Structure 1
Amino acid sequence: MADQIEHDEAGAEAESRQSRQEARQNAITDAVMAAGTIRIADLAERFEISTMTVHRDLDELESRGLLRKHRGEASALSTVLVESSDVYRASRERSEKESLALAALELIEPGSAIMLDDSTTALQLVPHLQAKRPLTVITNTLTVMNELRSMTGVTLLGLGGQYYNWCSSYMGRITTAAISELRADMLVMSTSAITDGVAFHQTMETVDVKRAMFDSASRRILLADHTKFDKRALHAMQPLADFDEVIVDAATAPHHVDALRSAGVNVSIVPRTRTHH
Structure 2
Amino acid sequence: MSLVRWIVACVVLAGGAMAQPIDISDYVADAGIENATTAVVVQRLSDGQVWSSNFARAEERFQPASTSKIPHTLIALETGYATPQTIFKWDGKARFLDSWNQDQALPQAFQRSAVWVYQEIAQGLGGAVMSDWLTRFNYGNADVGGAEDLQTYWLRGPLAISAEEQIGFLAQLAREELPLSRRTYAEAREIMRAEVQDTATLYAKSGYNLRRGQDDLGWYVGWVVRGDEIHVFAVNMDLSGFDAAPERQRLTRHVLDQLQIFPLPKS
TM bin (shorter chain) = under 0.3
TM-score between both structures, scaled by the size of structure 1: 0.26
Q: Which of structures 1 and 2 has the bigger CA Rg?
A: 1
**Greater per-residue helix proportion:** 1
Greater relative contact order (Cα < 8 A, sep 6+): 2
TM-score between both structures, scaled by the size of structure 2: 0.26
